[in-house]
Amino acid sequence: MRNAVVVEAVRTPIGKGKQGGMLTDEHPVALLAGTLRALVERTGIDPALVDDVIGGCVSQVGDQSLNLTRSAVLASGFPESVPATTVDRQCGSSQQAVHFAAQGVISGAYDIVIACGVESMSRVPMGSSVLPGSNPFAPLDERYPQGLVGQGISAELIAAKWKLDRSELDAFALQSHQRATAAWEAGEFDREVTVKGVRDETVRPGTSLEALAGLRAAYHTPEYEQRFPEIGWQVTAGNSSPINDGAAAVLIMGEEVAQRLGLRARARLTGFAVAGDDPQLMLTAVIPATSKVLERTGLSLSDIDLFEVNEAFASVVLAWQRETGADLAKTNVRGGAIALGHPLGGSGARILTTLLHALEDRDARFGLQTMCEAGGLANALVLENLRA
């Protein structure tokens, strides 16, 4: 069986996903095209050799419609012969792109492939793909007669089920900002961003527990309070990920192909898993996905040097830790989405980019990445640093 290796991974700095954010004026196709060009510039690879480009994007409408990954390939100046496709596994879209890319290399379908992702939430707001008056979940009414809920309520249900109080959620959020701030100040993100010195826009160096404690519950309504009396209304904008713009891209190829081209294989994509769970809790599938990928790779929790668990909400990561027993000191060591941001379709590739560089900088061997996704889904993968 062939090995799939990562040769390069880059990301944009992440902007606020609203008017006035630093990336608002940049079309999402151009944003993604910039990361593709960065891969070529950093590696010197001939883009004509790329067998496919697989991009993740959630809101595939408006500026992000009509297979934006193909548009980004053309906008980047790649030859017209390079194909591309766009996938949607909600927040895990570009992590799924990584899975598909690596699995294609392992199977022999690809020699060289780029996995990438983008989301411009300032230009294409979340939920834009749902037409007025439509109900995508109508056929599920018989199975879930009370109706499914949004992710914010799911995050509250998770906090209630795992008895996570407000102080725990806010302390975790503060730690995310502190770690991200320290990483930026130490230059730990410099190698991975496309624009050196431009920091992620939602990191708040000056935030505090007092400031976080002053925020109101973000998802409370009288109707939900009546329906879910167990909820303590702990989830706020401060202990949740913000709305963002950003893109990332990863160059993946067969290990023998990298050797033939004189390129350094930096990490091996060792194992993959995808899992489903209760769509009402929605964000808990990271727990079975973690177990599944460890089982498939024959690794134990103690073998993993660093974890990256997407911080959609603080309650998701803390519930994952409670169930798996993973060490939070090894988790999101450079901060996570609460601080850095969560440009939906770009986050999976962004997290992999950060994990790769963190493993290298710490001379650590194994990293595990997992992301919760709408509908009760999650992806997980194991990345092995070949320099450790």
Catalytic (active-site) positions: 91, 342, 372
The most distant pair of C-alpha atoms in the chain lies apart, rounded to whole Å, by 64
Give me the DSSP letters along 254-318: EHHHHHHHT----EEEEEEEEEE--TTT-S-THHHHHHHHHHHHT--GGG-SEEEE--SBHHHHH
**Cα 241 → chain centroid:** 11
Which residues, in sequence order, are CB contacts of 18 under 8 Å at separation 6+? Answer: 24, 121, 122, 243
Contact between residue 375 and residue 96 where contact means Cβ atoms under 8 Å apart: no
CA angle 154, 306, 254 (to 5 degrees): 100
CA angle 270, 103, 99 (to 5 degrees): 75
- In 103-123, which positions are buried (b, 16+ CB within 10 angstroms) versus exposed (e)? ebbbeeebbbbbbbbbbbbbb
Q: Of 264, 245, 315, 344, which Cα lies nearest the Cα of 12?
A: 245
Q: Report the half-sphere exposure of 158 (CA within 13 A, side-chain side).
A: 34
**Amino acid identity, residue 114?**
I
- Determine the 3-state secondary structure of 377 from DSSP: strand
Which residues, in sequence order, are CB contacts of 97 under 8 Å at separation 6+? Answer: 54, 55, 56, 87, 115, 116, 117, 348, 349
Spatial separation of the C-alpha atoms in residues 174 and 132, rounded to whole Å? 38
Q: Identify the residue whose tokens are 């727990």.
A: 287
Residue 136 — left, alpha, or beta (φ > 0 → left; ψ -120 to 50 → alpha)? alpha
- The token duo for 205 is 């160096």
Rounded to 10 degrees, what is the CA torsion of 13, 180, 89, 114? 50
Spatial separation of the C-alpha atoms in residues 374 and 129, rounded to whole Å? 14
Contact between residue 334 and residue 353 where contact means Cβ atoms under 8 Å apart: no
